[in-house]
Homo-oligomer: A and B are copies of this chain.
Amino acid sequence: MIRSILYLIVTIILLQSCKENTADKEKFQIDDTEYELPYRIPDEKNISDVVCKIADYIIKSTPYQIINEKTGGEIIDFSIPDTNAIVDTRTGSFNLWDYTVGVIHTGMLAASDVLERADYQKYVINNYDFIFKNLPYFREKALIKKPGNGSYHRIINMNALDHCGSIGAALIQAWQINPDIEYRKMIDTVENFIMHKQFRLVDGTLARKRPQKESVWTDDFYMSIPFLVRMGEITKNDIYYTEAVNQVLQLSSYLFNCNKNLFDHGMNLNAKEYDPEFFWSRANGWAMMSITTLLDVLPEDYKDRDQVLKIYRAHIKSIAELQGGNGLWFNILDKNDTYPETSGTAMFVYSMAKAVNEGWIDYTYASVALAGWNGLTMYISDEGEIENMCAGTTFGADMVYYYHRPPSHNSLHGLGPALLAGSEIIKLLRNQDFKPVKEWRTIHFKPTETK
Protein backbone atom coordinates (compact mmCIF):
# COMPACT_ATOMS: atom_id res chain seq x y z
CA MET A 1 0.00 0.00 0.00
CA ILE A 2 2.74 2.42 0.89
CA ARG A 3 4.51 1.41 -2.27
CA SER A 4 1.33 2.07 -4.28
CA ILE A 5 1.14 5.55 -2.86
CA LEU A 6 4.79 6.11 -3.61
CA TYR A 7 4.32 5.14 -7.24
CA LEU A 8 1.38 7.43 -7.51
CA ILE A 9 3.38 10.31 -6.08
CA VAL A 10 6.20 9.68 -8.54
CA THR A 11 3.68 9.49 -11.37
CA ILE A 12 2.13 12.78 -10.38
CA ILE A 13 5.54 14.42 -10.12
CA LEU A 14 6.46 13.14 -13.58
CA LEU A 15 3.16 14.41 -14.92
CA GLN A 16 4.18 17.91 -13.96
CA SER A 17 6.90 17.72 -16.59
CA CYS A 18 4.15 17.43 -19.15
CA LYS A 19 2.97 20.91 -18.47
CA GLU A 20 4.39 23.80 -20.36
CA ASN A 21 6.42 26.77 -19.34
CA THR A 22 3.71 28.77 -17.66
CA ALA A 23 1.57 25.98 -16.41
CA ASP A 24 3.53 25.24 -13.28
CA LYS A 25 2.74 28.66 -11.90
CA GLU A 26 0.36 29.04 -9.00
CA LYS A 27 -3.31 29.39 -9.93
CA PHE A 28 -5.46 32.10 -8.38
CA GLN A 29 -9.12 31.54 -7.56
CA ILE A 30 -10.76 34.95 -7.58
CA ASP A 31 -14.53 35.03 -7.12
CA ASP A 32 -15.64 32.05 -9.20
CA THR A 33 -12.90 32.19 -11.81
CA GLU A 34 -9.47 30.59 -11.98
CA TYR A 35 -6.70 32.94 -13.05
CA GLU A 36 -3.11 32.30 -14.08
CA LEU A 37 -2.10 35.46 -12.29
CA PRO A 38 -3.24 37.48 -9.29
CA TYR A 39 -5.73 39.54 -11.31
CA ARG A 40 -6.45 42.22 -8.74
CA ILE A 41 -5.85 45.71 -7.42
CA PRO A 42 -2.78 45.26 -5.22
CA ASP A 43 -2.16 47.51 -2.28
CA GLU A 44 0.93 49.68 -2.29
CA LYS A 45 2.62 47.57 0.36
CA ASN A 46 2.34 44.53 -1.85
CA ILE A 47 3.99 46.32 -4.76
CA SER A 48 6.71 47.98 -2.71
CA ASP A 49 7.59 44.61 -1.20
CA VAL A 50 8.28 43.29 -4.68
CA VAL A 51 10.29 46.36 -5.66
CA CYS A 52 12.37 46.12 -2.48
CA LYS A 53 12.96 42.41 -3.02
CA ILE A 54 14.52 43.17 -6.40
CA ALA A 55 16.48 46.16 -5.14
CA ASP A 56 17.79 44.20 -2.18
CA TYR A 57 18.81 41.35 -4.45
CA ILE A 58 20.75 43.82 -6.59
CA ILE A 59 22.46 45.40 -3.60
CA LYS A 60 23.29 42.02 -2.09
CA SER A 61 24.76 40.84 -5.37
CA THR A 62 27.06 43.83 -5.87
CA PRO A 63 30.42 42.96 -4.35
CA TYR A 64 32.55 46.09 -5.01
CA GLN A 65 35.61 43.92 -5.45
CA ILE A 66 38.48 43.54 -7.87
CA ILE A 67 39.68 39.96 -7.89
CA ASN A 68 42.28 37.74 -9.43
CA GLU A 69 40.38 35.84 -12.14
CA LYS A 70 42.36 32.67 -11.47
CA THR A 71 42.42 32.52 -7.69
CA GLY A 72 39.29 34.51 -6.92
CA GLY A 73 41.23 36.39 -4.26
CA GLU A 74 40.48 40.09 -3.72
CA ILE A 75 43.08 42.51 -5.04
CA ILE A 76 43.81 45.31 -2.61
CA ASP A 77 47.15 46.71 -3.68
CA PHE A 78 46.54 48.48 -6.99
CA SER A 79 50.10 49.65 -7.35
CA ILE A 80 51.09 46.20 -8.59
CA PRO A 81 49.88 45.28 -12.10
CA ASP A 82 48.03 41.99 -12.21
CA THR A 83 47.27 40.51 -15.63
CA ASN A 84 44.50 38.43 -14.07
CA ALA A 85 42.70 41.33 -12.44
CA ILE A 86 38.98 41.60 -13.19
CA VAL A 87 35.91 43.13 -11.65
CA ASP A 88 34.20 40.49 -9.53
CA THR A 89 31.08 39.38 -11.43
CA ARG A 90 30.58 36.06 -9.71
CA THR A 91 27.21 37.12 -8.30
CA GLY A 92 26.26 39.22 -11.33
CA SER A 93 27.72 41.96 -13.50
CA PHE A 94 26.46 44.74 -11.27
CA ASN A 95 29.81 46.49 -10.97
CA LEU A 96 30.40 46.60 -14.70
CA TRP A 97 29.98 49.56 -17.00
CA ASP A 98 27.16 48.16 -19.08
CA TYR A 99 23.84 49.17 -20.58
CA THR A 100 21.90 46.79 -18.35
CA VAL A 101 23.52 48.39 -15.29
CA GLY A 102 22.46 51.79 -16.63
CA VAL A 103 18.82 50.73 -16.54
CA ILE A 104 19.31 49.27 -13.06
CA HIS A 105 20.66 52.62 -11.85
CA THR A 106 17.73 54.47 -13.39
CA GLY A 107 15.41 51.96 -11.76
CA MET A 108 17.10 52.25 -8.34
CA LEU A 109 16.73 56.03 -8.50
CA ALA A 110 13.05 55.70 -9.38
CA ALA A 111 12.48 53.27 -6.52
CA SER A 112 14.44 55.53 -4.16
CA ASP A 113 12.23 58.43 -5.15
CA VAL A 114 8.89 56.65 -4.89
CA LEU A 115 9.68 54.64 -1.76
CA GLU A 116 11.84 57.31 -0.09
CA ARG A 117 14.70 54.88 0.21
CA ALA A 118 17.92 56.91 0.35
CA ASP A 119 19.93 53.68 0.34
CA TYR A 120 18.82 52.93 -3.22
CA GLN A 121 20.09 56.30 -4.37
CA LYS A 122 23.27 55.74 -2.43
CA TYR A 123 23.72 52.41 -4.23
CA VAL A 124 23.90 54.20 -7.57
CA ILE A 125 26.47 56.70 -6.33
CA ASN A 126 28.53 53.93 -4.75
CA ASN A 127 28.47 51.96 -7.94
CA TYR A 128 29.71 54.82 -10.11
CA ASP A 129 32.28 55.75 -7.47
CA PHE A 130 33.55 52.19 -7.52
CA ILE A 131 33.87 52.31 -11.32
CA PHE A 132 35.70 55.61 -11.38
CA LYS A 133 37.95 54.61 -8.51
CA ASN A 134 39.07 51.46 -10.29
CA LEU A 135 39.00 52.67 -13.86
CA PRO A 136 42.58 54.09 -13.80
CA TYR A 137 43.86 50.75 -12.63
CA PHE A 138 42.36 48.96 -15.65
CA ARG A 139 43.10 51.81 -18.00
CA GLU A 140 46.77 51.91 -17.07
CA LYS A 141 47.16 48.15 -16.82
CA ALA A 142 45.54 47.86 -20.24
CA LEU A 143 49.02 48.14 -21.61
CA ILE A 144 49.89 44.72 -20.36
CA LYS A 145 46.57 43.04 -21.03
CA LYS A 146 43.81 43.28 -23.62
CA PRO A 147 40.85 44.54 -21.68
CA GLY A 148 37.97 42.08 -21.51
CA ASN A 149 34.50 42.03 -20.11
CA GLY A 150 35.62 42.39 -16.50
CA SER A 151 37.89 45.36 -17.16
CA TYR A 152 35.83 48.36 -18.18
CA HIS A 153 36.84 47.79 -21.78
CA ARG A 154 33.60 49.52 -22.85
CA ILE A 155 34.99 52.73 -21.38
CA ILE A 156 38.58 52.18 -22.42
CA ASN A 157 37.67 51.15 -25.96
CA MET A 158 34.36 52.92 -26.29
CA ASN A 159 33.19 52.13 -29.82
CA ALA A 160 29.49 51.34 -29.72
CA LEU A 161 26.28 52.85 -28.41
CA ASP A 162 25.89 49.74 -26.25
CA HIS A 163 29.06 50.93 -24.48
CA CYS A 164 27.84 54.27 -23.31
CA GLY A 165 24.28 55.47 -23.98
CA SER A 166 22.29 53.74 -21.26
CA ILE A 167 24.93 53.74 -18.53
CA GLY A 168 25.80 57.32 -19.52
CA ALA A 169 22.19 58.42 -19.20
CA ALA A 170 22.05 57.07 -15.66
CA LEU A 171 25.39 58.73 -14.97
CA ILE A 172 23.83 62.11 -15.74
CA GLN A 173 21.10 61.31 -13.22
CA ALA A 174 23.79 60.39 -10.67
CA TRP A 175 25.72 63.57 -11.45
CA GLN A 176 22.62 65.63 -10.73
CA ILE A 177 22.73 64.15 -7.24
CA ASN A 178 26.50 64.06 -6.84
CA PRO A 179 28.14 66.65 -9.12
CA ASP A 180 31.51 64.91 -9.17
CA ILE A 181 34.06 66.14 -11.72
CA GLU A 182 34.92 62.56 -12.77
CA TYR A 183 31.28 61.95 -13.56
CA ARG A 184 31.13 65.08 -15.65
CA LYS A 185 34.26 64.22 -17.60
CA MET A 186 32.82 60.85 -18.50
CA ILE A 187 29.49 62.43 -19.46
CA ASP A 188 31.37 64.62 -21.92
CA THR A 189 33.24 61.61 -23.28
CA VAL A 190 29.95 59.84 -23.91
CA GLU A 191 28.43 62.98 -25.42
CA ASN A 192 31.35 63.24 -27.80
CA PHE A 193 31.05 59.60 -28.75
CA ILE A 194 27.31 59.67 -29.48
CA MET A 195 27.23 63.05 -31.18
CA HIS A 196 30.41 62.80 -33.19
CA LYS A 197 31.95 59.36 -33.33
CA GLN A 198 29.16 56.79 -33.59
CA PHE A 199 28.57 55.41 -37.08
CA ARG A 200 25.53 56.87 -38.81
CA LEU A 201 23.74 56.51 -42.11
CA VAL A 202 24.20 59.40 -44.51
CA ASP A 203 20.86 60.80 -43.34
CA GLY A 204 22.17 60.97 -39.77
CA THR A 205 20.37 57.95 -38.37
CA LEU A 206 22.37 56.16 -35.69
CA ALA A 207 23.44 52.81 -37.09
CA ARG A 208 25.82 49.90 -36.74
CA LYS A 209 28.17 48.08 -39.06
CA ARG A 210 26.84 44.73 -37.98
CA PRO A 211 25.46 42.30 -38.82
CA GLN A 212 25.73 43.95 -42.25
CA LYS A 213 27.54 47.02 -43.48
CA GLU A 214 24.68 49.35 -42.65
CA SER A 215 22.27 48.08 -40.04
CA VAL A 216 19.75 49.99 -37.97
CA TRP A 217 18.75 48.48 -34.61
CA THR A 218 15.71 49.18 -32.48
CA ASP A 219 17.86 48.60 -29.38
CA ASP A 220 19.64 51.83 -30.29
CA PHE A 221 16.65 53.84 -29.20
CA TYR A 222 17.62 53.17 -25.62
CA MET A 223 21.35 53.22 -26.35
CA SER A 224 21.13 56.88 -27.37
CA ILE A 225 17.88 58.70 -26.67
CA PRO A 226 17.83 58.66 -22.84
CA PHE A 227 21.37 60.06 -22.85
CA LEU A 228 20.47 62.79 -25.34
CA VAL A 229 17.40 63.64 -23.29
CA ARG A 230 19.37 63.96 -20.05
CA MET A 231 22.01 66.05 -21.81
CA GLY A 232 19.27 68.38 -22.97
CA GLU A 233 17.99 68.54 -19.45
CA ILE A 234 21.33 69.54 -17.86
CA THR A 235 22.64 71.79 -20.63
CA LYS A 236 19.38 73.48 -21.68
CA ASN A 237 20.89 73.25 -25.16
CA ASP A 238 18.22 72.54 -27.75
CA ILE A 239 20.60 70.49 -29.86
CA TYR A 240 20.06 67.42 -27.69
CA TYR A 241 16.26 67.43 -27.61
CA THR A 242 16.21 68.04 -31.34
CA GLU A 243 18.62 65.19 -31.91
CA ALA A 244 16.56 62.90 -29.65
CA VAL A 245 13.34 63.76 -31.49
CA ASN A 246 15.03 63.30 -34.85
CA GLN A 247 16.45 59.92 -33.87
CA VAL A 248 12.99 58.74 -32.76
CA LEU A 249 11.54 59.75 -36.09
CA GLN A 250 14.41 58.53 -38.23
CA LEU A 251 14.88 55.20 -36.48
CA SER A 252 11.10 54.75 -36.69
CA SER A 253 11.13 55.47 -40.39
CA TYR A 254 13.29 52.39 -40.82
CA LEU A 255 11.95 50.21 -38.03
CA PHE A 256 8.35 51.02 -37.18
CA ASN A 257 5.86 48.92 -39.11
CA CYS A 258 2.91 51.25 -39.59
CA ASN A 259 0.47 48.42 -40.31
CA LYS A 260 1.30 46.31 -37.30
CA ASN A 261 2.41 49.26 -35.19
CA LEU A 262 5.38 47.32 -33.90
CA PHE A 263 9.11 47.82 -34.11
CA ASP A 264 11.12 45.45 -36.25
CA HIS A 265 14.24 44.37 -34.35
CA GLY A 266 16.52 45.69 -37.06
CA MET A 267 16.92 46.60 -40.70
CA ASN A 268 19.84 45.82 -42.96
CA LEU A 269 19.98 48.60 -45.48
CA ASN A 270 21.24 46.23 -48.17
CA ALA A 271 17.90 44.40 -48.07
CA LYS A 272 15.93 47.64 -48.29
CA GLU A 273 12.15 47.35 -48.15
CA TYR A 274 12.30 43.56 -48.30
CA ASP A 275 14.20 43.09 -45.06
CA PRO A 276 12.26 40.51 -43.03
CA GLU A 277 10.75 41.81 -39.81
CA PHE A 278 11.13 40.24 -36.38
CA PHE A 279 8.99 41.71 -33.62
CA TRP A 280 11.16 40.81 -30.67
CA SER A 281 9.64 41.91 -27.40
CA ARG A 282 12.62 43.53 -25.68
CA ALA A 283 13.50 45.65 -28.71
CA ASN A 284 9.97 47.02 -28.59
CA GLY A 285 10.49 47.64 -24.90
CA TRP A 286 13.66 49.66 -25.51
CA ALA A 287 11.83 51.81 -28.06
CA MET A 288 8.85 52.43 -25.83
CA MET A 289 10.97 53.24 -22.76
CA SER A 290 13.08 55.64 -24.80
CA ILE A 291 10.13 57.62 -26.07
CA THR A 292 8.76 57.62 -22.52
CA THR A 293 12.01 59.17 -21.32
CA LEU A 294 11.90 61.74 -24.08
CA LEU A 295 8.30 62.76 -23.49
CA ASP A 296 9.06 63.18 -19.81
CA VAL A 297 11.16 66.28 -20.45
CA LEU A 298 10.19 67.50 -23.91
CA PRO A 299 8.24 70.77 -23.81
CA GLU A 300 4.67 70.29 -25.02
CA ASP A 301 5.08 72.64 -27.95
CA TYR A 302 8.39 71.18 -29.13
CA LYS A 303 8.74 70.69 -32.87
CA ASP A 304 7.54 67.25 -34.01
CA ARG A 305 6.44 66.17 -30.54
CA ASP A 306 3.05 65.37 -32.07
CA GLN A 307 4.68 62.97 -34.52
CA VAL A 308 6.53 61.26 -31.69
CA LEU A 309 3.28 60.95 -29.75
CA LYS A 310 1.53 59.47 -32.75
CA ILE A 311 4.04 56.63 -33.05
CA TYR A 312 4.07 56.16 -29.27
CA ARG A 313 0.30 55.86 -28.95
CA ALA A 314 -0.08 53.55 -31.94
CA HIS A 315 2.69 51.37 -30.47
CA ILE A 316 1.06 51.22 -27.04
CA LYS A 317 -2.29 50.30 -28.59
CA SER A 318 -0.75 47.47 -30.56
CA ILE A 319 1.19 46.21 -27.55
CA ALA A 320 -1.96 46.20 -25.41
CA GLU A 321 -3.65 44.01 -28.01
CA LEU A 322 -0.80 41.49 -27.95
CA GLN A 323 -0.72 40.95 -24.18
CA GLY A 324 -0.78 37.25 -23.36
CA GLY A 325 -3.24 35.53 -21.08
CA ASN A 326 -1.02 35.63 -18.01
CA GLY A 327 -0.31 39.34 -18.37
CA LEU A 328 3.11 38.95 -19.97
CA TRP A 329 4.11 39.47 -23.55
CA PHE A 330 5.47 36.68 -25.74
CA ASN A 331 9.18 36.77 -26.53
CA ILE A 332 8.27 37.26 -30.18
CA LEU A 333 5.32 39.55 -29.74
CA ASP A 334 3.12 38.13 -32.48
CA LYS A 335 4.02 34.45 -31.92
CA ASN A 336 2.02 32.90 -29.11
CA ASP A 337 4.11 29.76 -29.35
CA THR A 338 7.03 31.59 -27.74
CA TYR A 339 7.38 31.90 -23.96
CA PRO A 340 6.10 34.77 -21.79
CA GLU A 341 9.10 37.07 -21.43
CA THR A 342 9.71 39.33 -18.46
CA SER A 343 12.15 42.05 -19.55
CA GLY A 344 10.00 43.34 -22.41
CA THR A 345 6.95 42.99 -20.18
CA ALA A 346 8.53 45.15 -17.45
CA MET A 347 9.41 47.81 -20.03
CA PHE A 348 5.86 47.91 -21.38
CA VAL A 349 4.34 48.01 -17.88
CA TYR A 350 6.60 50.89 -16.86
CA SER A 351 5.98 52.85 -20.05
CA MET A 352 2.22 52.40 -20.10
CA ALA A 353 1.85 53.26 -16.41
CA LYS A 354 3.99 56.36 -16.90
CA ALA A 355 2.12 57.31 -20.08
CA VAL A 356 -1.13 57.14 -18.14
CA ASN A 357 0.27 59.05 -15.15
CA GLU A 358 1.49 61.81 -17.44
CA GLY A 359 -1.64 61.89 -19.60
CA TRP A 360 0.09 60.87 -22.82
CA ILE A 361 -2.35 58.02 -23.34
CA ASP A 362 -5.84 57.41 -22.06
CA TYR A 363 -6.15 56.29 -18.44
CA THR A 364 -7.94 53.10 -19.53
CA TYR A 365 -4.47 51.73 -20.34
CA ALA A 366 -3.84 51.59 -16.61
CA SER A 367 -5.71 48.27 -16.61
CA VAL A 368 -3.29 46.84 -19.14
CA ALA A 369 -0.26 48.02 -17.18
CA LEU A 370 -1.68 46.66 -13.94
CA ALA A 371 -2.47 43.26 -15.45
CA GLY A 372 1.08 43.19 -16.79
CA TRP A 373 2.50 44.01 -13.39
CA ASN A 374 0.36 41.38 -11.69
CA GLY A 375 1.59 38.80 -14.19
CA LEU A 376 5.20 39.89 -13.80
CA THR A 377 5.16 39.41 -10.03
CA MET A 378 4.73 35.67 -10.56
CA TYR A 379 8.13 35.52 -12.20
CA ILE A 380 9.93 37.26 -9.34
CA SER A 381 11.29 34.86 -6.77
CA ASP A 382 11.33 35.36 -3.02
CA GLU A 383 15.00 36.26 -3.38
CA GLY A 384 14.24 39.05 -5.85
CA GLU A 385 15.51 37.23 -8.90
CA ILE A 386 13.51 37.45 -12.14
CA GLU A 387 12.79 34.42 -14.31
CA ASN A 388 12.09 34.23 -18.05
CA MET A 389 14.22 37.15 -19.15
CA CYS A 390 15.27 36.55 -22.72
CA ALA A 391 19.03 35.98 -22.88
CA GLY A 392 21.19 38.48 -24.76
CA THR A 393 19.98 38.58 -28.36
CA THR A 394 21.64 39.96 -31.44
CA PHE A 395 19.84 41.24 -34.52
CA GLY A 396 19.38 37.93 -36.33
CA ALA A 397 18.48 37.05 -39.89
CA ASP A 398 15.96 34.28 -39.36
CA MET A 399 12.92 33.63 -37.19
CA VAL A 400 14.37 30.32 -36.00
CA TYR A 401 17.07 32.22 -34.12
CA TYR A 402 14.50 34.33 -32.29
CA TYR A 403 12.40 31.29 -31.45
CA HIS A 404 15.37 29.77 -29.67
CA ARG A 405 16.65 32.63 -27.58
CA PRO A 406 16.22 31.04 -24.18
CA PRO A 407 14.56 32.36 -21.02
CA SER A 408 17.14 33.17 -18.38
CA HIS A 409 17.21 34.32 -14.79
CA ASN A 410 20.86 35.36 -14.96
CA SER A 411 20.75 38.18 -17.47
CA LEU A 412 20.32 41.67 -15.98
CA HIS A 413 17.97 43.01 -18.67
CA GLY A 414 14.75 42.84 -16.68
CA LEU A 415 15.91 44.07 -13.29
CA GLY A 416 16.03 47.80 -13.99
CA PRO A 417 12.77 47.77 -15.96
CA ALA A 418 11.04 45.82 -13.15
CA LEU A 419 12.15 48.45 -10.60
CA LEU A 420 10.80 51.16 -12.91
CA ALA A 421 7.57 49.24 -13.52
CA GLY A 422 6.82 48.66 -9.83
CA SER A 423 7.65 52.24 -8.91
CA GLU A 424 5.42 53.60 -11.64
CA ILE A 425 2.56 51.27 -10.74
CA ILE A 426 2.75 52.66 -7.18
CA LYS A 427 2.46 56.16 -8.62
CA LEU A 428 -0.49 54.97 -10.69
CA LEU A 429 -2.32 53.81 -7.59
CA ARG A 430 -1.43 57.05 -5.79
CA ASN A 431 -2.62 59.13 -8.73
CA GLN A 432 -5.54 61.31 -7.63
CA ASP A 433 -6.91 61.83 -11.12
CA PHE A 434 -8.42 58.35 -11.36
CA LYS A 435 -8.86 55.27 -9.29
CA PRO A 436 -9.13 51.55 -10.02
CA VAL A 437 -12.58 50.05 -9.55
CA LYS A 438 -13.30 46.35 -9.45
CA GLU A 439 -16.48 45.95 -11.44
CA TRP A 440 -18.02 42.98 -13.22
CA ARG A 441 -14.96 40.85 -12.36
CA THR A 442 -12.55 43.20 -14.10
CA ILE A 443 -10.64 46.35 -13.16
CA HIS A 444 -11.51 49.69 -14.67
CA PHE A 445 -9.70 52.90 -13.92
CA LYS A 446 -12.17 55.75 -13.65
CA PRO A 447 -11.68 59.47 -13.31
CA THR A 448 -12.17 60.66 -9.74
CA GLU A 449 -15.40 62.50 -9.28
CA THR A 450 -13.81 65.77 -8.29
CA LYS A 451 -12.19 65.96 -11.69
Q: Which A positions have Cβ atoms within 8 angstroms of B? A: 3-4, 6-8, 10-12, 14-15, 17-19, 33-37, 39, 210-213, 259, 268, 270-272, 274-278, 313-314, 316-317, 320-327, 335-338, 361-368, 370-371, 374-375, 391, 394, 396-401, 403-406, 439-447
Contact = CB atoms under 8 A, between A and B. Distances in A.
A264 to B, nearest CB: 10
Contact of A400 (B34, B39, B213, B362): B39
Nearest to A268: B364
A367 B398 contact: yes
A399 B368 contact: yes
Nearest to A361: B274
Contacts of A324: 337, 399, 403
Contacts of A271: 362, 364-365
A213 to B, nearest CB: 8
A371 B400 contact: yes
Contacts of A36: 404
Contacts of A18: 15, 18-19
A15 B368 CA distance: 36
Contacts of A326: 400, 403
B321 A276 contact: yes
Contacts of A394: 439-442
A399 B320 contact: yes
Nearest to A445: B397
B362 A321 contact: no
Nearest to A375: B400
A367 to B, nearest CB: 4
A314 B11 CA distance: 50
Given A277-B321, A404-B33, A442 B398 contact: yes
Contacts of A37: 400
Indicate the member of A325, A337, A365, A398 with the most B CB atoms within 10 Å. A398
A13 B363 CA distance: 48
A373 to B, nearest CB: 11
A211 B444 contact: yes
